[in-house]
Structure 1
């Protein structure tokens, strides 16, 4: 029996066979994960954005050394993976990270992973019901995380007050934002699908688009090049970089964020130094520039999303996002809410053209009916007599 045939049979029996790909960091794993592989990670409380990226890579299964929903807060990663039909083996212990990368292994329905007759690891297979129960239980742990979040916010204020309050340190982009509508697109959870839902708004209002790092390419996919690209541009395509009116480099960790690459390409740029996240700096840039409205897409807005963002990038945290949104005040609106509330407004001439087309179609239909033609002729002569036409 061929290997592909054996895989088909194993899957039909509830067994999943694939090649193990191990990385404690899902971000590093994504660079080499292929469809059909078994992804082995070591993450407590997997966030929605990382899970979405893992699911897009098409693994046969995901094995987590830790608990995907630990109970600290309702992390959404488990629900994303299970919802995508990917088998998740949870809490397989740290021993799973000692396995050899590239090993062919089979995962059984009871959560046991084997290579031939040898048991490699054992965990709990997550289901929609178990994930739902874990998420509900995790709601009770929010108060502890909220306290930590508040402490981080105080620390951010202490170190970033000049930028948060006065936008001090943000260079001039040369782009006029005063009175303009601004859309900030960050590479967050479901940012691609949410950008598609926002297309009618983008077509009609043509706002200034500030793209954060690799989200610049997502924007280009929709044929709306980013006006400003802000963040680390190492993974941004040359096409998106060339179309931007301004590029502002930013790396919270203090790295070069792609400066060497831009110098090689001959693209001018500015730089900003801050421990805040790039999306936070983008919000402060739009606010200090006098934007009339700031639409955020892929930027954390609710408490759970903020906590997930902190888990996704410990160095940045999400308290800065909260403070930046607070500073933007009533100018800021989430893209998901805007796409629900927004209704496309058609130009007056389109409405008139549609009305005339409908009347013409109605007239033709009436004309070809028995007796319709003579009646329309009599009606025309009568109306013409009233207005002095046709005499």
Structure 2
């Protein structure tokens, strides 16, 4: 199923060179926080994933220059295709030296070259729709090897983490009461914007507890919703999200190390809980909701397929597999719900609906003395107008 995103303009090659100031960051998700329309994005991103590509497209850069290969051939990642579909030129495999270019430098992307002050500072491979299609075909041929390695890694982790399914994990006490409540777990993954919009009636009527997983907290804030809980290692949530008043649960390594705790405390937040646990932060959010007595867990933007896990750079999905077994039927995955329930009302249907409403209004007015008097006056006025028109001829 094709992920929704910015309007598809069709693969095309821009005419002539493009120019703009350089924005340089090895972490694409950090770069998109400051990338402005017309900038040239300089990234170092192997196998550019869908979420990162859509985030780049939303910033409307003049071009994307990648120090690394946007597709290594390990699996069929759609990031390069998404950028080209949006009409954004991509120069690939420019080498690590390009990451040392000064931020804000005015540069020109011309063909496969990056030019500064008339000198070529980097040269790579200009991606085209035909080249990307060929890379995807090769990557699909390698997918069977990825499936085998992924399955083996998953089984190894299942054996190592089977206590997660049997005994659960030690969860901290929370001030947020989840007992008997509906819970919405939001990850900034595929379809999250569209699905949150579609789920607005559910959010308005059920008033669920809102849990943002790292950047999912910002996804909620973008929709005008304040998260009740934020769960994660706190590396991709904004300062505004961390200080919005939500209760924080910092996901730590099994040995208790929590790199994100220092950032949280630097913002003056002293009551954050630390939770050492295996697995992903979205798994922890679901386990937390389940253990604290949630009646229903609705997941938005979570990862559950092979390509999604490879997009995230994960070599197995044991924790997700075990988590979904443990949570069971109370988990409802909202992934792609916007595609299923997207409105398809035609103009003719709207016209008939308007006529039906008008007919009902007329019938209601005719059933009252005041309404009948109104239509009687209207009929007299119409006779006067018609007589005037006849008098003109």
**Alpha-carbon offset, residue 266 of structure 1:** 5.4
| Equivalent pair of 1:71/1:137 in contact (CA under 8 Å) | yes
Number of the residue aligned with 1:170:
171
SS at the partner of 2:276? coil
Which of the numbers 279, 287, 292 marks the counterpart of 1:289? 292
Taking the aligned partners of 2:253 and 2:57, their CA distance within structure 1 comes to 27
Q: Which 5+ residue runs of structure 2 have no aligned equivalent?
A: 1-12, 344-355, 380-393
**Alpha-carbon offset, residue 281 of structure 1:** 0.5
| Residues 1:58 and 2:57 are matched in the alignment | no
Which of the numbers 58, 77, 80 marks the counterpart of 1:78? 80
| Residues 1:269 and 2:268 are matched in the alignment | no
SS at the partner of 1:336? coil
**Alpha-carbon offset, residue 162 of structure 1:** 2.8
| CA gap 1:31/1:207 in 2 versus in 1, 3 angstroms | closer
Number of the residue aligned with 1:386:
none
Number of the residue aligned with 2:327:
328
**Alpha-carbon offset, residue 172 of structure 1:** 3.1
TM-score by length of 1: 0.74
**Alpha-carbon offset, residue 39 of structure 1:** 1.9
| CA gap 1:14/1:272 in 2 versus in 1, 3 angstroms | same
Taking the aligned partners of 2:77 and 2:56, their CA distance within structure 1 comes to 15
Which of the numbers 257, 260, 268 marks the counterpart of 2:260? 257
Number of the residue aligned with 2:387:
none
**Alpha-carbon offset, residue 71 of structure 1:** 2.0
SS at the partner of 2:260? coil
Q: How does 1:279-358 map to 2 (within 5 A)?
A: 279-310=282-313, 318-339=317-338
Number of the residue aligned with 2:209:
208
Q: Deviations over 1:77-112 (max 9, x none)?
A: 11232233211112334454465555433222x323
Number of the residue aligned with 1:67:
69
| Residues 1:218 and 2:228 are matched in the alignment | no
Q: How does 1:127-206 map to 2 (within 5 A)?
A: 127-206=128-207
| Equivalent pair of 1:228/1:248 in contact (CA under 8 Å) | yes
SS at the partner of 1:299? coil
Number of the residue aligned with 1:364:
365
SS at the partner of 1:50? helix
C-alpha RMSD over aligned residues: 3.6
| CA gap 1:241/1:326 in 2 versus in 1, 3 angstroms | farther
Taking the aligned partners of 1:213 and 1:248, their CA distance within structure 2 comes to 10
Number of the residue aligned with 1:385:
none
**Alpha-carbon offset, residue 185 of structure 1:** 0.4
Q: Deviations over 1:160-179 (max 9, x none)?
A: 33334332222232544444
**Alpha-carbon offset, residue 129 of structure 1:** 4.5
| Equivalent pair of 1:42/1:65 in contact (CA under 8 Å) | yes
SS at the partner of 2:139? helix
TM-score by length of 2: 0.74
| Equivalent pair of 1:249/1:259 in contact (CA under 8 Å) | no
